[in-house]
Amino acid sequence: MFFTSDNASGAAPEILAAVTRANEGFARSYGADDIMARVTTQLRDTFEAPEAAVYLVATGTVANSLALAIHTQPWAAVFAHTEAHIATDECGAPEFYTNGAKLIGVDGAHGKMTPAGLAAALDRIGESGVHGVQRGMVSITNVTEAGTVYTPAEIAALTAVAKTKGLPCHLDGARFANALVATNATAAEMTWKSGIDVVSFGGTKNGCMGVEAVVIFNPAKAWEFELRRKRGGHLFSKHRFLSAQIEAYLQDGLWLRLARHANAMGARLAEGLASIDHVSQRHPVQANLMFPEWATGCHAKLQAAGAAYYDMPAPAGREGARLVTSWSTSAADVDQFLAALRA
């Protein structure tokens, strides 16, 4: 009953098998491996973007930071939801990689920016000439930190606002596959067809060991990305082990199958919770993470039963939690959790 995070899961068997296969013999280092050549094609095909520059790194934090850094000057602002991972959970990595850009929080219910909210933030910043920081970029997270999902149309509405000021747009897709299967969108629809310029395409949370792709739709940024990645210490010498993960992840739709399972487990859990009368949800449940609240006393009961998850602040008389399902969550785990809560 491990619901702390999707990163508490291991790797899917197909991923591990691919890594094992990749281990045979010698291979060129630093991204010149044969597997990466195939991965490049796979990613371009997946995103219907034959010109895109695509790269692999090992963590979501650096995928985001590099995606921002190649599009944002040090004296510019990145606009993102107040609760975005880049703003709250990366210890200032975006500031580090951009050499000091400023993150501007945009509020919005359920972890989602609204076009009006974004437009207001853009109006506040960048109007004081040389005295203020300049507008730099917009970053959108999908699945959001609140577990909600933007549709492609909602993303397009946000990027349209950004484009009125000529700003590039980033999609933090640490849970990209979960967002995709939740909306039945294609990767292209969720990204460049909706105005996105660069994507952090997550693999780690959805069954890989540790790999994220960065998909850059403007290939003019490719060389700068490579230099920044190396300079950040993120260019792997035995790069084949990153390549092998993504190759297997994209093959035969594994990534979408894993995400469908995670979301299905999320739905099963949410349904069960909805049937318990003292349980409420802070946000709509649309993918594989949720923020239920229940009557005080349940934490003790659940922990005694062996459930692991993060506590969240809650109003008096209530207890809050964050629950995350993953590719490896079983229906039995979910049912056992619900039973423990009902007990």
Instruction: Report in angstroms how near the CB of residue 75 gets to its own copies at its nearest.
Output: 5
Closest CA to 258 of 270, 266, 249: 249
**Encoded tokens for 99:** 């050499």
**Least distance in Å: CB of 273 to its own copies?**
21
DSSP bridge pairs for 78: 103, 137
Nearer to its own copies, 93 or 198 (CB): 93
Nearer residue to its own copies within complex by CB, 112 or 239: 239
> Which of 105, 170, 157, 149 has the alpha carbon at shortest distance from 290?
149
Q: 2 Cβ partners below 8 Å, 6+ apart?
A: 8, 9, 308, 329, 333
Shortest Cβ 249–its own copies spacing (Å):
14
Nearer to its own copies, 10 or 297 (CB): 10
Nearer to its own copies among residue 9 and residue 191 (C-beta): 9
Residues 73, 82: Cα–Cα separation, whole Å: 21
34 CB contacts (<8 Å, ≥6 apart)?
Answer: 27, 28
Q: Considering the complex, state which of residue 228 and residue 283 has its C-beta at the smaller distance from its own copies.
A: 228
The least distance separating its own copies from the CB of residue 165, rounded to whole angstroms, comes to 16
Nearer Cβ to its own copies (143/156): 143
Give min distance, CB of 185 to its own copies, in A: 26
Q: Which conformational region is residue 105 in: left (phi greater than 0), alpha (psi within -120 to 50 degrees), or beta? A: beta
User: How many Å apart are CA 8 and CA 160, to the nearest integer?
Assistant: 36
Strands 212-216 and 198-202: antiparallel
Q: 13: which residues sit within 8 A by CB, 6+ positions away? A: none
Least spacing, CB of residue 124 vs its own copies, in Å: 9
